[in-house]
Amino acid sequence: MKLEHRENEHKASGTTLQVKEDQTLEALLMHHMQGRSKSSLKKLLQSEMISVEGEIVKKLEFPLKAGQKVFVGKKPDFQLPEGLRIIWEDAWLMIVLKDSGLLTIGHRRENKLTAEEYLNQYMQHKKLGERIYVVHRIDRDT
């Protein structure tokens, strides 16, 4: 059986701009989006389509620092974190690839989100009313 790789399914669609010098968000957008009016930029802000370093921005006067990244576009309704990818999913089974450093499951004293928790959030987002349960790791000798 061949598995379909679904890595791009939950990616955002838009453009990422790299801030090269300290400036306002308005100056950056006017430079990269020539021909757009200030009111059209404000509509993008109102629609929550502009974020700086992953945080939604509401004002054109927002100060930017060199090295920051500005994303302009529509984000998906739900996004798994970097390093966690669903490669197979049907009504009964989900196969994921998880980078090292992200815990598979946690314990009472753990305060970091785990792969299990992220995937349960994904299931809630899909409104399936189901939880996932870790069954097996195939990266270990069995």
pLDDT at 23: 97
Q: What is the pLDDT of residue 141?
A: 61
Domain boundary among 74, 99, 123: 74
Q: Average pLDDT, stretch 110-135?
A: 84
Assess whether pLDDT exceeds 50 at residue 1: no
| Rounded distance between C-alpha atoms, residue 122 and residue 115, angstroms | 10
In the three-class reduction of DSSP (H, G, I as helix; E, B as strand; rest coil), residue 24 is classed as strand
pLDDT exceeds 60 at position 7: no
Same domain assignment for residues 65 and 97:
no
Enumerate the β-bridge partners of residue 14: 73
| Residue 106 confidence (pLDDT) above 90 | no
Q: Of 58, 74, 90, which marks where a domain is finished?
A: 74
SS3 89: strand
Q: Is residue 6 part of a domain?
A: no
pLDDT at res. 16: 92
User: Distance (Å, rounded) from C-alpha 142 to C-alpha 136?
Assistant: 10
Structural domain includes residue 4: no
Contact 69, 17 (CB under 8 A): yes
Higher pLDDT, 50 or 79: 50
Same domain, 91 and 69: no
When divided into structural domains, the chain yields a total of 2
Last residue of a domain, one of 46, 74, 102: 74
Token look-up 């009313």 returns 129
Mean residue pLDDT of the chain comes to: 84
Strands 69-74 and 63-64: unpaired
Task: Specify the pLDDT at position 12.
Answer: 58
Kindly report the pTM of this predicted structure. 0.50
| Average pLDDT of the residues in 80-104 | 89
Which pLDDT band holds residue 8 (cuts at 50, 70, 90)? very low
| Bridge pairing between strands 50-52 and 55-56 | antiparallel
Q: What is the residue range of 84's domain?
A: 77-142
